[in-house]
Structure 1
Amino acid sequence: MRNAQIQKTTKKAANLSLSTELLAEAKRLNINLSATMEKALEQEVSKKLKEEWVKNNTEAVDACNKLTEEFGLFSDSYRKF
């Protein structure tokens, strides 16, 4: 489940508590609750995975940036601009 894009395989039922008014309006508008929830959950999981990656890799990224600031990039001598 750590992939940037989560595989859509088997499904499992889940119980949710939703606002009565919101649920009634969604039904009136023929909104597919399962598809809508799955899409929203995919977006939230993706967002949280990105935040987790940044948190876990901040130190390494900072170290790489510091080295680049001090010594430049290995390709600097080949740049034409």
Structure 2
Amino acid sequence: MLKFDNAPKKATNLSLNSKVLEAAREMGMNVSQTVNELLAKEVERRYWEQWNERNKEAIEAYNERIREHGIWGAKYRTFARSMGDGRASTKDKKAA
């Protein structure tokens, strides 16, 4: 899991569109904070995108197992027996 909390700040150089930078400053925006927050969100988005790609086969294998066998313990549930356990109903199997 990604954790960015309480990490020290590090000075860096960025090349930004001068008009965008000027407008941001005129609006009173904290450019460093804004860039830091947006960059953290993008890093997290890409991290999970890559994680999903790396784990695609395992996720699909798990989903296939649930489709075939249902969720463990579903037969012991006292609610929603006809839905949500991942297995196709007998009616659906006959139609296939």
Q: TM-score, normalised by structure 2?
A: 0.75
Aligned to 1:68: 66
Q: Between Structure 1 and Structure 2, which shows a larger proportion of helix residues?
A: 1
Q: How many percent of aligned residue pairs carry the same amino acid?
A: 33
Larger Rg: 2
> Which runs of no fewer than 5 residues in structure 1 stay unpaired?
none
Segments ≥4 residues shifted beyond 6 Å: none
Alignment partner, residue 49 of structure 1: 47
What CA distance in whole angstroms lies between the structure 2 residues aligned with 1:74 and 1:27? 56
Which structure would you say has the larger RCO, counting Cα contacts within 8 Å and 6 or more residues apart?
A: 1
* TM-score normalised according to structure 1 size: 0.87
SS of the residue corresponding to residue 70 of structure 1 reads helix
SS of aligned partner of 1:25: helix
**CA RMSD after TM alignment:** 1.2
Question: Secondary structure, in 3 states, of the residue corresponding to 2:13?
Answer: coil
What is the total number of aligned residue pairs between the two structures? 79
